[in-house]
A and B are shown apart, each in its own frame.
Chain A
C-alpha cells in the first residue's frame, strides 16, 4: 500500500459519501455542501493522476464559482426543507436493484472498453502528467475553434438569462 493508493481510496470513498448525502439530505444547503465535497474529492483524484491544472480548474470553476452561486441562491431564497412524495410504487421497490444493476453494468462496460483495458495493462495513466504549457498549446492551437465555440455558447446562455430576467416595459 503506497501513499497515493491510500489517498485514492480515501478520496473515492469521500466522493461516494458526498454523492449519497447529496441525494439523501433534506436540507438544500447540506446537499450543496455534499456536492462541494464530491467536487473537491474529484479534484484530488485528478491531482493523483498528475493533472495539476485540471485539478485546480475543477476547484476554481465548480467548487469556487458554480457551487458558491448555488449556496448564495439557496441562502437568498431561504429555501426550506425538501418535501418528498410517495407516489411512485416502481421507484420504491425496483429502484435499488435497478440502480445496483446500472452501476454494475457501467463498471463492466468501462473495464471492457479500450481505455479501461489500457489502464488495466498499465498503459494509461503513466503519461497522464501533462504540463500546463502543453495543455494550453493544444487548447489554443489544435482545438481553438471548439474552445471559442464553447465560450460563445456560455455567453449565449448568460444573454438568455438576461433576456428572461428583464422586466417587461
Chain B
C-alpha cells in the first residue's frame, strides 16, 4: 500500500495502460465482427452466424486460427525488417490511443485523472507525430517481403499516406485556430455551450468544410475503401501484406482497426465535442440514457434467448443478457451514473463514426490510382488551405477592425 501512495503517477498510469490495452484488444477483435455484420446486412446477407449466438464468438475463433497457422517467411526476405514491420505498425497504431481523453479530467483516482493515459499539453501534435511514423510499418513490410506485389503496394501506400497527411493536418489547423490550444481536454471544453439553447456549439458547425476534408483524408490515411489501393486485390493480390501469414498478418489487421479507432476518436474530439453531451444540462432525464439503453438491450436479448436461440447459443445469450442487465442496473447508481456520462457520449460518437466508415466501405467502389492522387493534391489540399485562410481571417477580423 505504501508503494501506491508514494508513486501515485506510476501506479495509476500503469493501471490505465493495462486497462486500455485490455479494452482495446477486445474492441479490435469485435470491430472485425461489427464490420462483417454491418456489411453483410447492407448486402442482404447474414454475416458471421455459426460460431456462437449471432456469431459473437467469431473473433475468438479467428484469433485461434491466426495463432495456429504456419508462419512463413519468403526466401530472400530481410528477416529483421520483415519481423519489425508488423510490430511497428501495431505498436504505433496503439500508442496514439494513450493521448485520447475518454472522459472529463474531473474523473479522478489518487489525484490523477483516470480517463486519459497521457494528458499532454500538445496532445494533437503528438498524435500527428506518431501517425506520421506509422507509414514505416506499411512501407517496410512492402520492401522486406522481397516480392513484386508487396513492393508496389508499399510504394503506393507510402505515397498515398504522405500525400493525404498534408490535407489531414491542414484540415485540423482550423479547429486549432478556433480553440486556441493543442490540448485535447481544453479543445473539448472550448466546444461547450449551445446555439439557440439546444444545438450544441461543436466545431463541426463552423468547420464543416474542415470536417469533410478531415474525414476524406482520414479514410485515405488509414488505407480504407474507397481509398484502399495499397491492398487493391484485383491488381496487387493483397498489397503490402501479401507475403505475411499467421499472426503477423493479424497484426496488420489489428493495426488497421486501431488506426480507424484513433482517427474516429480524433474526429470526435476535434469536431463533435468529445465527451460533451449533445443535450443541454437542463435536460436531466437524458442522463439516464446509458442505463436505459443497456436495459433495453437486455430486454431485446432476453426475447432473443427465449424465442429464437437453441442449444449452446441460448446459454451464451443468457450470459450476455445477464451482463447487460447487471451493468445497466449498476449504471443507475448515482456515482456510476456521473462517471459513465463522459465515456458514454464519447464512445457513442466514436461508434457512429466507425459505422460511417464501414458504411462507406460497403457502398463506394475503389478509386483509380491517378484519380486518388489528383483528388488529394488538386482538390482536398486547396480546399483545406482555403478553409484555413478563411478561418484565420474570421478569427483576426475583430482585431483588424479595432486597430484600423
Residues of A that sit less than 8 Å from B by CB: 27, 29-30, 33, 36, 40, 43, 52-53, 55-57, 59-60, 63-65, 68-69, 71-72, 75-76, 131-132
Instruction: Please give, as numbers and ranges, the residues of chain A lying within 8 Å of B80 by CB-CB distance.
Output: 30
- Is B162 a contact of A68 with CB atoms below 8 Å? yes
- Is A59 a contact of B121 with CB atoms below 8 Å? no
Instruction: Please give, as numbers and ranges, the residues of chain B lying within 8 Å of A60 by CB-CB distance.
Output: 125, 128-129, 132
- Is B132 a contact of A71 with CB atoms below 8 Å? no
- Is A56 a contact of B122 with CB atoms below 8 Å? yes
Instruction: Please give, as numbers and ranges, the residues of chain A lying within 8 Å of B151 by CB-CB distance.
Output: 75
- Is B139 a contact of A56 with CB atoms below 8 Å? no
Q: A63–B133 Cα gap in the complex (Å)?
A: 6
- Is B121 a contact of A132 with CB atoms below 8 Å? yes
Q: A64–B132 Cα gap in the complex (Å)?
A: 5
Nearest-neighbour CB distance to chain A for B299, whole angstroms, equals: 48
Nearest-neighbour CB distance to chain A for B280, whole angstroms, equals: 32
Q: A29–B144 Cα gap in the complex (Å)?
A: 9
- Is B136 a contact of A27 with CB atoms below 8 Å? no
Q: A72–B144 Cα gap in the complex (Å)?
A: 13
Among B126, B136, B162, contact of A69 (Cβ-Cβ < 8 Å): B162
Contact with A along B75-88 (1 / 0, CB 8 A): 00010110010000
Given A52-B120, A52-B122, A132-B122: A75 in contact with B132 (beta carbons within 8 A): no
Residues of B that sit less than 8 Å from A by CB: 78, 80-81, 84, 120-122, 125-126, 128-130, 132-133, 135-136, 139-140, 142-144, 151, 154-155, 158-159, 162, 165, 182
**Is chain B's binding surface mostly helix, strand, loop or mixed?**
helix
Given A60-B125, A68-B135: A29 in contact with B78 (beta carbons within 8 A): yes
Among A40, A69, A75, contact of B143 (Cβ-Cβ < 8 Å): A75
Given A52-B121, A59-B133, A64-B129: A76 in contact with B139 (beta carbons within 8 A): no
Instruction: Please give, as numbers and ranges, the residues of chain A lying within 8 Å of B140 by CB-CB distance.
Output: 29, 33, 71
Given A36-B136, A71-B136: A131 in contact with B121 (beta carbons within 8 A): yes
- Is A64 a contact of B155 with CB atoms below 8 Å? no
Nearest A residue to B158 by beta-carbon distance? Answer: A72
- Is B129 a contact of A56 with CB atoms below 8 Å? yes
- Is A72 a contact of B159 with CB atoms below 8 Å? yes
Q: A132–B180 Cα gap in the complex (Å)?
A: 11
Nearest-neighbour CB distance to chain B for A52, whole angstroms, equals: 5
Nearest A residue to B144 by beta-carbon distance? Answer: A29
Ranked 4 nearest A-B pairs via Cβ: A64-B132, A56-B125, A59-B129, A56-B129
Nearest-neighbour CB distance to chain A for B175, whole angstroms, equals: 15
- Is A65 a contact of B132 with CB atoms below 8 Å? yes
Nearest B residue to A72 by beta-carbon distance? Answer: B158
Instruction: Please give, as numbers and ranges, the residues of chain A lying within 8 Å of B158 by CB-CB distance.
Output: 68, 71-72, 75
Among B81, B121, B129, B130, contact of A33 (Cβ-Cβ < 8 Å): B81
Nearest-neighbour CB distance to chain B for A158, whole angstroms, equals: 14
Which of the listed residues B78, B136, B142, B144 has the most CB atoms from chain A within 10 Å of its own CB? B136
Q: A30–B143 Cα gap in the complex (Å)?
A: 12
Instruction: Please give, as numbers and ranges, the residues of chain A lying within 8 Å of B81 by CB-CB distance.
Output: 29-30, 33
What are 20 sample pairs from A and B whose C-beta atoms fall under 8 A apart? Answer: A29-B81, A29-B144, A30-B80, A33-B81, A43-B129, A52-B120, A52-B121, A55-B129, A56-B126, A57-B125, A60-B128, A60-B129, A63-B132, A63-B133, A64-B132, A64-B133, A65-B132, A68-B139, A72-B158, A72-B162
